[in-house]
Amino acid sequence: MYTNKQIWSVSYPILLSLLAQNVINVTDTAFLGHVSEVALGASAMGGLFYICVFTIAFGFSTGSQIVIARRNGEGRYSDVGPVMIQGVMFLFVMALLLFGFTKAFGGNIMRLLVSSESIYEGTMEFLDWRIYGFFFSFINVMFRALYIGITRTKVLTINAIVMALTNVVLDYALIFGKFGLPEMGIKGAAIASVLAEASSILFFVIYTYATVDLKKYGMNRLRTFDPALLMRILSISCFTMLQYFLSMATWFVFFVAVERLGQRELAIANIVRSIYVVLLIPVNALATTTNSLVSNAIGAGGIQHVMPLINKIARFSFFIMLGLVAVSALFPQFLLSIYTSEAALITESVPSVYVICFAMLIASVANVVFNGISGTGNTQAALLLETINNYHLRIIHHFHRNVAESTDRNLLYD
């Protein structure tokens, strides 16, 4: 049974890394919120489209992480590297195919979904540059899977700090035209994010080569494509790929619905979602830890420890979130002022912040349990739960409802 100290030693670097990574989302939203409502709304639409595609890669890496953690728990360290290498090869091909698909059909898809011409133009200006990030982010998630799977999570914090600092500096420079660079607005935000992801993969490559025992983990030589191994990984990953895609795709549908209400409503939804993502950071860190430790425990023959482990981490998650919710409910205007200085926009966003506070208490336990199920390797059950959640009115909501009520429905089933 893992002790509290062991759980925290794995989860806190993940938490710090997620915090640093979300600096990118907050920075983009905060900076573009001071450009215009159109820029803010367009970045939300373009960013969610990008993330919908990215979640396919993230789902594959989560399945790979389960396999890596199981091999690590079994002491089969030399089998870790082949999983990592096959995953990198597979995701690079996926990045190439999805980049081509988005280049060819992304504009047509957005034209069908977005009603405002100004939002459409801003979204495409953002996406035309943002999709180059596929080639970096798809590989990055395999490094993340490797280090979480072998429980060496501290590197994730350092990597995320490198990426966040790169993004903040480039965001400021490229959006507003500072340090002798041209003022590029929403296009600058997209380019900054891509370059930040490139800096992340460069760091991972250097760190892995310098500090990891490549021979121990079977990463000391290049390997040819292994269809049999890839199929074994996909037998787990295909369900997590679908699961994460469904989860994010319905967020995208929600934003499409809100966009039809107007630019102001879309701006509110983007700000509120950014706060939601930040509040979810400790939950996601503990949920990811649950996934890895459950898989490691099963690999080490400790299946009897799985349920007590999930219960313990779920309690941690709930009480941490209870504190964050209390602060957020007491000072919603302060949170919103980070994203915009417009008083009316802040006032109109407050009801949705209260909705988030309620939803987060449920999510704090549900996400941990959900990832515990995935960590056992039973990703089919996790996908089934996600499908049931999405069926319950998450997509089928009325476009005429206000943002707070729409956000309520979307979060309750997240």
Contact 246, 387 (CB under 8 A): yes
Q: Which of 347, 119, 107 is nearest to 255 (CA)?
A: 119
* 249 Cβ contact partners less than 8 Å away, ≥ 6 residues apart: 52
Q: Is 100 left (phi over 0), alpha (psi -120 to 50) or beta?
A: alpha
- What is the rounded distance in angstroms from the CA atom of residue 276 to the CA atom of residue 356? 6
- The CB-based long-range contact list for 89-97 (8 Å cut-off, 24+ gap) reads 89/225, 90/60, 90/230, 90/233, 91/57, 91/60, 91/61, 91/138, 91/139, 91/141, 91/142, 92/135, 92/138, 92/139, 94/56, 94/57, 94/60, 94/138, 95/57, 95/134, 95/135, 95/138, 95/139, 96/135
Distances (CA, A) of 234 to 57, 134, 242: 12, 20, 11
pLDDT at 387: 63
Task: Walk along the chain (414 residues) and give the pLDDT tens digit of each residue.
Answer: 667 777 877 787 777 777 766 777 677 777 887 788 788 778 878 888 888 888 889 889 988 988 998 899 889 999 999 999 999 999 999 999 999 999 999 999 888 888 888 889 999 999 999 999 999 999 999 999 999 899 898 898 899 889 989 999 999 999 999 988 999 989 999 999 999 999 999 999 999 999 999 999 999 877 778 888 899 888 888 887 887 787 777 767 777 777 677 777 777 777 777 788 788 888 888 888 888 888 888 877 778 888 888 999 999 899 999 999 999 889 888 888 877 778 888 888 888 888 878 888 888 888 888 888 877 877 676 666 666 655 544 444 443 344 444 444 454 445
- In DSSP notation, 298-367 reads HHTT-GGGHHHHHHHHHHHHHHHHHHHHHHHHH-HHHHHHTT---HHHHHHHHHHHHHHHHHHHHHHHHH
pLDDT digits (tens, 9 = 90+) for 123-163: 999 999 999 999 999 999 999 999 989 989 889 889 988 99
pLDDT at 21: 64
pLDDT at 105: 93
Longest dimension (CA), the chain: 61
pTM: 0.78
Contact 253, 60 (CB under 8 A): no
Residue extents of the structural domains in the chain: 4-412
pLDDT at 136: 95
- The alpha carbon of residue 301 and the mean position of all alpha carbons in its chain are separated, in whole angstroms, by 31
pLDDT at 335: 83
* 316 Cβ contact partners less than 8 Å away, ≥ 6 residues apart: 7, 286
Cα-only R_g, the chain: 21
Q: Calculate what percentage of the chain has a pLDDT beyond 70.
A: 88
End-to-end alpha-carbon separation of the chain, Å? Answer: 30
